[in-house]
Structures are given as structure tokens and as C-alpha cells.
Amino acid sequence: MRTNFETSADSTRSLPFFSLRAMRPERKLAAGAIFSLCAAVLSRPDPAIGACFFGVLLLCCSGLPLRKTASRLLSVNAFLLPFWLLLPPSPVPGGETLFSLGPLDFHRAGFETALLICLKANAAACALTALAGTSTVAENGRALHELHVPDKMTALLLITHANLGLMAREYGRLFQAARLRGFVPGASPAACRVYARLIGLLLVRSWHKSRRVEQAMLLRGFRGRFPLIPSRCSCPPEIRRRNRRAASLLFLSCCFAGITLVVWDVMI
């Protein structure tokens, strides 16, 4: 029978050199934060396209499931849709008008601004999804603590993640109970009343469960921060050295790409 040490060591040894999953979470979060900040200050479309290309490249190296990643990016772009609806018809003094639709004039500057916002947002979303999505929530919480993020923010992240899963399971049970009692989903007034009752029951039950979870945490000594157990890597020394080199390469690549894009943006 193989031990946990042998299993973890063999699984780590089988990873390629540039594997985002094998790198330490705090270095990935730091690299993603630096790159996202550099992408956020860009003011030209061409450097923003380069930032978006680098983010997609990181996403391709992450090995995340394609369908789940596409749904996350689709949610980000759905949030950006109002920019395409509101910015082009906004009045721009002396701006070039592309076309008119009734009383509205659509300007080139509005389209360019909406495109720039979408490119920067997608670049940051791709980079952070690739870097933070290859670690678990617990690993990201430890990484935030090691990056000296306030303990309250780290605890808020972990507790929110746990309660979201709790609310999803509770909603599934309530919805299944309603279906067993003859509820047919739809948009009729009766169905809307059932949905309203489900939401109310969900909030009440989630509040009661959260109170019980809080009391259990206080009884176990929780005082605003989670105690951290020192992490011990069971990998062989050559695997740890390889991971450190890959993490350093990733960090330097993100910094170099971000600084290069900012300099390119300034020099245009």
C-alpha cells in the first residue's frame, strides 16, 4: 500500500516544469496583483490587447476546465455589457459620430472607451482566474495571510465561501421539497409567490445555520482569525527547487509583461 508521501511526491514529480498548480499560492497572487494593476492603468487599446493576450496565455497554461472557465468569463463580460450600451451614445464634445439611431448619436470615442474597459477587465480576469483558480480557497486564504492581508479580510473570504456553499445546498433541499409537493417552475403569479417564499425560507434558515456555525467556532476558540498550521512540503528537494524556479519565472514574467505594457502605453 502506497503512503501519502509517495503519492504526493509522485504526483508532483509528474507535473511539467511550468505548472501553475505546483507553485506557491502567495507568489501566484502577488504576480496576478502586479499584472492586474499594470493592466488597469493602460489608456490605449494596443497595449490592452497585449495584456489580454498575456492573460489568455496564462489561462491556457493553467489547465482549468474549459467550460467552467468560459462561464466565468461570460459572467464578467455580461457585467461589462452596460458599458457598450451607455458609452457610445453619450455626448462627446467634438467627437466623431459613426452613425445615428433616431435621436441618439453613436460616437467613436464611446466605442473605443468601452473596448478599452473590456480589454483591461478581461486581461485581469484571465490572469487572476489562471493564477488564483489553480489553488484551493484554503490555500488562497493562507497566501493572503502570508502576504500580510488583514486577518479580518481573510476570515471574511473563507467564511463567505463556506456560507455560499451552505446556502446552495439549502436552496437545493427547499427546491426539491417544493417539486415533490407539485411545484412546476414558471413565470406565473403562483410560481413567483412560491419563489418568494423559497427565498424567504432560505434567508431565515441560512441565518439560523450561520448562528450555529458562529457558536461552534467560538466554542472551538475562534477569535477573529483562523489558526494556521505550518505547511510542510513532502516533495523531494529537487522538486521544491524546480517549483521555486518556475514560480520565480512566473513572477518575473508577470512583472516584465506589466511594466512593458505600461511603457508601451506611455510611449505611444
| Domain ranges (residues) in the chain | 4-149+234-267, 151-219
Distance separating alpha carbons of residues 87 and 108, to the nearest angstrom: 10
Q: Give the pLDDT band of residue 247 (cuts 50, 70, 90).
A: low
Nearest to 98 by CA among 89, 90, 109, 106: 106
Q: Residues 61, 254: contact at Cβ < 8 Å?
A: no
Q: What is the pTM of this model?
A: 0.73
Average pLDDT, the chain: 79
Widest CA span of the chain, in angstroms? 76
What pLDDT does residue 10 have? 41
Q: Is pLDDT of 254 > 50?
A: yes
Distance separating alpha carbons of residues 151 and 53, to the nearest angstrom: 34
> Could you give the count of Cα atoms lying within 13 Å of 136 in the half-sphere of its Cβ?
4
What pLDDT does residue 242 have? 66
Among 60-74, 84-98, 193-207, the least confident range? 84-98
Q: Average pLDDT for residues 36-43, to the nearest whole number?
A: 88
